[in-house]
């Protein structure tokens, strides 16, 4: 079944880090990036952040998460595309300013 994903915000929080908020099938989400991949080739990937039983916000295991595997995969795919669009827009703006 197709997921309905609405990205409300996507902001750069560092050189290679981002934060996003939105909804997936009417459930609110917050996601942050981590760097993943082999040493020297790490790229940002999005991970859903949730409040745990102790109220601390962070990564949750599937067993305790309100998001299933399909939700997480769909979010990661959409957010990666949005991140790439944002980075391309930033490069385009930098080129305009340099001209």
Could you read off the pLDDT of 1-37 as tens digits, one per residue? 678 999 999 999 999 999 999 999 999 999 999 999 9
CA–CA gap between residue 66 and residue 61 (Å, rounded): 10
Kindly provide the b/e burial profile for residues 31-63, where b requires at least 16 CB atoms within 10 angstroms of the residue's own CB: bbbeeeeeeeeeebebbbbbeeeeeeeeebeee
Contact 44, 34 (CB under 8 A): yes
Please give the residue that has the higher pLDDT: either 78 or 59: 78
Read off the pTM: 0.86
**What is the DSSP-derived secondary structure letter of residue 99?**
-
């Amino acid at each position: 079944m197709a997921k309905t994903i609405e990205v409300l915000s996507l902001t750069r929080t560092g050189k290679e880090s981002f934060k996003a908020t939105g909804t997936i099938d009417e459930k609110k989400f917050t996601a942050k990036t981590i760097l993943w991949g082999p040493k020297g080739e790490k790229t940002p990937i999005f991970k859903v952040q949730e409040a745990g039983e102790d109220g601390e916000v962070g990564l949750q295991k599937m067993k305790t998460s309100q998001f299933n595997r399909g939700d997480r995969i769909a979010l990661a795919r959409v957010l990666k595309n949005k991140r790439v669009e944002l980075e391309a827009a930033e490069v385009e703006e930098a080129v305009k300013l340099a001209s």
